[in-house]
C-alpha cells in the first residue's frame, strides 16, 4: 500500500463511527439536495480555487468577482431594490451574525456616542451565535421570553425592554429551535420608532422562504422590503445546498456595511483591510458556492423547495396520527420541534440513533419543555423513518431507562450545587474521568434539562476541554 492509499484508508477508518451525512438519516447539521452531479461540480470548483487566498482581493480579483456575483444574486431574493443592498460572503451563520453585531455596535458608537454599555435585545429563541457575538464584543444581552405556545417573541415585550442603551433588536425568520418566524414587521416598526438597528436572522429559513414565496406559498414579511430592517443573514450551505462554509451577511446599503470592516495600517507590514473575521481564507468555499448556485439555478431551487414543502405536509400528517408525539408551534419553514407528554424524549433519540437515525435533542430547561429537532431535506425517507420511530416508541415504553431526576434532587438538597455534586452527576450520567461521553446521551440531556444553565455550561467546558487532547494513535502506519 502506497502512502496515498494508507492516508485515505486511515481517514476512512476513523469515519466508521460517523453517521452518513448523505441519504437522509441525519435530521440536523447536514443538508443533502440529493443532486450528486451538483456536488461533483462544486468539488471541482473548490479544487480550482482552494489555494487562492481571500486575504487580498487585489492579488486574486477572481474572488472579488465571485463574491460580488453571489451577493447580487442573493440580494435579489430579499429586496425589491437589490441594487442598493450590500453584502459579504462569510464562512457561516455565526460569522455573519458576529459581523452584524459588530457593525451595529460600531454604528452606534459613531451615531450615539453617549452609549457606553450597549445592549442587544434577544428572544429566548435567538441563536446562540448572538450570545457568542455579545460575549466577544463586550455587549450586554437583554433576553425576552417567547410565547410558550407559538414560540414567537411578543413585540410588546420587546418594546418594554428597549432602553437608551439599546443598539440592536433581533428577530428570527425562522428560529432554529422551533422553525417559526418572529413578527418581523412589528419589530421593524419598533426599529424605526426608536431608531435602533434590526437584524433578521434568516440563516436557516431565509433562502427557503424566499423560494416558497416564488412558488406562491404563504410567507410572512421579513426582509429589506420592511423599512426597519438594517441587516439580514442567510446561510447558503443550508437550503441552497452549497458545501460548507457559505453564508452571506446583507445590509440595507453600503453605509451600514462599512461598520463591519476592520482596517489596520499602523504596523510595519502590509496594510490590512478585512471584510470578514477571517484574514487568510481559501477561495475554495466561495467558488464551490458559486458553482452550486449556478448549477442548480432558479428552477432547480423551486423544485427543491416544492419537494421540501410537500415532505413537510406528509411528515405533519404522520405526527398527527401518533398519540405520543406532537409538533410544537406552527412551523413556517422546514424545521420541526417534536414534544411529548408521555415519552422520554431523551431515550427516544438514543433509540433512533441505534437504528442509524440522528434526531437532535433540545433539552429545554425549567421554563421550556424538551423536544426533538428535525430538519427536513429533499432526501428524507419519510415512511422508513416513521416505521423506525414507532418501533423506538414501543421500546421506550417497554424498557424505560433509569431517570436521574430523584438523584439530582437529593444531591442538590443535601450538598447544594458544588463541583463535587456536578462530578458525581456526570459520572452517574456515564461521563468518564477523561471527559469521554457515553454512547447513550439520554442522561446527559436530562442533566441539561434539570440543572441551571451556568452549571451545565461549566460542565460542558470541562468535558470539551478533556476531549480535545493531542492524540496520534490513529496515524500509526501512515507516517
Lowest model confidence (mean pLDDT) among 188-192, 308-312, 467-471: 467-471
pTM: 0.94
Residues 277 and 216 grouped into a single domain: yes
Write out pLDDT tens, residues 32-54: 999 999 999 999 999 999 999 99
Residues 163 and 259 grouped into a single domain: yes
Residues 410 and 388 grouped into a single domain: no
At residue 86, the pLDDT reads 97
Closest CA to 451 of 405, 400, 420: 405
**DSSP state string for 266-331:** SSSS--EEESSS-SS-BSHHHHHHHHHHHHHHHHHHHHHHHHHHHHHHHHHHHHHT-SS-EE-S--
Residues 427 and 280 grouped into a single domain: no
Instruction: Give the range of the structural domain holding residue 234, as residue numbers without chain letter.
Output: 44-293
Residues 213 and 353 grouped into a single domain: no
Residue 476 inside a domain? The answer is: no
Residue 475 inside a domain? The answer is: no
Residue 64 has pLDDT above 80, yes or no: yes
Write out pLDDT tens, residues 96-143: 999 999 999 999 999 999 999 999 999 999 999 999 999 999 999 999
Residues 99 and 134 grouped into a single domain: yes
DSSP β-ladder status, 119-123 and 166-172? parallel
Residue 235 has pLDDT above 80, yes or no: yes
At residue 366, the pLDDT reads 79
Residue 96 inside a domain? The answer is: yes
Q: How far apart are CA 258 and CA 106, in angstroms?
A: 10
**CB contact set of 128 (below 8 Å; sequence gap of 6+):** none
Residues 156 and 253 grouped into a single domain: yes
Write out pLDDT tens, residues 137-162: 999 999 999 999 999 999 999 999 99
Residues 252 and 274 grouped into a single domain: yes
Q: How far apart are CA 209 and CA 220, in angstroms?
A: 9
The three three-digit cell numbers of residue 184, written as one number: 418581523
Q: How far apart are CA 417 and CA 371, in angstroms?
A: 26
Residue 58 inside a domain? The answer is: yes
Mark which of 359, 381, 398 sits at the end of a domain. Answer: 398
Give the CATH number for residue 172.
3.40.640.10
Amino acid at each position: 500500500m502506497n502512502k496515498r492509499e494508507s492516508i485515505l484508508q486511515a481517514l476512512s477508518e476513523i469515519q466508521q463511527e460517523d453517521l452518513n451525512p448523505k441519504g437522509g438519516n441525519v435530521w440536523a447539521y447536514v443538508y443533502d439536495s440529493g443532486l450528486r452531479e451538483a456536488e461533483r461540480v462544486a468539488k471541482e470548483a473548490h479544487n480550482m480555487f482552494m489555494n487562492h487566498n481571500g486575504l487580498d482581493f487585489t492579488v486574486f480579483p477572481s474572488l472579488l468577482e465571485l463574491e460580488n456575483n453571489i451577493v447580487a444574486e442573493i440580494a435579489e431574493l430579499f429586496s425589491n431594490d437589490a441594487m442598493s443592498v450590500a453584502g459579504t460572503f462569510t464562512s457561516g451563520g455565526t460569522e455573519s451574525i458576529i459581523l452584524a453585531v459588530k457593525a451595529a455596535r460600531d454604528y452606534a458608537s459613531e451615531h450615539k456616542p453617549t452609549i457606553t454599555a450597549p445592549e442587544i435585545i434577544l428572544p429566548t429563541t435567538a441563536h446562540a451565535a448572538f450570545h457568542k457575538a455579545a460575549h466577544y464584543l463586550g455587549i450586554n444581552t437583554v433576553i425576552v421570553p417567547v410565547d410558550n405556545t407559538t414560540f414567537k417573541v411578543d413585540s410588546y415585550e420587546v418594546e418594554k425592554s428597549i432602553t437608551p442603551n439599546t443598539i440592536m433588536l433581533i428577530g428570527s425568520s425562522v428560529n432554529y429551535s422551533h422553525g417559526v418566524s418572529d413578527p418581523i414587521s412589528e419589530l421593524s416598526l419598533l426599529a424605526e420608532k426608536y431608531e435602533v438597528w434590526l437584524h433578521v436572522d434568516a440563516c436557516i429559513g431565509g433562502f427557503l422562504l424566499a423560494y416558497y414565496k416564488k412558488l406562491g406559498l404563504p410567507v410572512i414579511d421579513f426582509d429589506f422590503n420592511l423599512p426597519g430592517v438594517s441587516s439580514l443573514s442567510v446561510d447558503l450551505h443550508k437550503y441552497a445546498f452549497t458545501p460548507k462554509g457559505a453564508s452571506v451577511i446583507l445590509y440595507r446599503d453600503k453605509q451600514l456595511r462599512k461598520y463591519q470592516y476592520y482596517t489596520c495600517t499602523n504596523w510595519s507590514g502590509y496594510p490590512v483591510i478585512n471584510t470578514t473575521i477571517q484574514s487568510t481564507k481559501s477561495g475554495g468555499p466561495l467558488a464551490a458556492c458559486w458553482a452550486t448556485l449556478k448549477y442548480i439555478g432558479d428552477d432547480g431551487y423551486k423544485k427543491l423547495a416544492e419537494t421540501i414543502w410537500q415532505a413537510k405536509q406528509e411528515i405533519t400528517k404522520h405526527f398527527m396520527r401518533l398519540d405520543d408525539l406532537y409538533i410544537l408551534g406552527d412551523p413556517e419553514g422546514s424545521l420541526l420541534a417534536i414534544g411529548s407528554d408521555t415519552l422520554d424524549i431523551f431515550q427516544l433519540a438514543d433509540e433512533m440513533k441505534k437504528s442509524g437515525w440522528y434526531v437532535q435533542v433540545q433539552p429545554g430547561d425549567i421554563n421550556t419543555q424538551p423536544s426533538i429537532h428535525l430538519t427536513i431535506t429533499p432526501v428524507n425517507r419519510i415512511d422508513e423513518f416513521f416505521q423506525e420511530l414507532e418501533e423506538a416508541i414501543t421500546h421506550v415504553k417497554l424498557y424505560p431507562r433509569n431517570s436521574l431526576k430523584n438523584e439530582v434532587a437529593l444531591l442538590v438538597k443535601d450538598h447544594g450545587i458544588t463541583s463535587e455534586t456536578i462530578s458525581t452527576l456526570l459520572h452517574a450520567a456515564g461521563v468518564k474521568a477523561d471527559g469521554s461521553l457515553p454512547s447513550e446521551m439520554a442522561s446527559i440531556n436530562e442533566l441539561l434539562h434539570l440543572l441551571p444553565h451556568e452549571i451545565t455550561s461549566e460542565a460542558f467546558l470541562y468535558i470539551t476541554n478533556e476531549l480535545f487532547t493531542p492524540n496520534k494513535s490513529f496515524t500509526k502506519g501512515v507516517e
